Amino acid sequence: MTSKPANHYPPELRERAVRMLLEHRDEYASEQEAIRAISSKIS
């Protein structure tokens, strides 16, 4: 039986990451680039 992976990030951190992505995604050439840049800032 396979179990679900543990969720290592608290809800507050995930909410912050999504909020930052929505606020700053227009500053990047692609959404993937924005995700990479933002994830490096919050982790």
The answer to the question of residue 4 being in a domain is no
The answer to the question of residue 22 being in a domain is yes
- pLDDT at position 25: 92
**pTM of the full structure:** 0.70
Residue type, 18: V
What is the tally of structural domains in the chain? 1
The answer to the question of residue 28 being in a domain is yes
The answer to the question of residue 38 being in a domain is yes
- pLDDT at position 42: 86
pLDDT tens-place values along the chain, 43 residues long: 566 666 788 999 999 999 999 999 999 999 999 999 999 988 6
The answer to the question of residue 3 being in a domain is no
Write out the residue range of the structural domain in which residue 38 sits. 11-42
**CB-CB contact of 17 with 35 (8 Å):** no
Q: How far apart are CA 39 and CA 42, in angstroms?
A: 5
The answer to the question of residue 21 being in a domain is yes
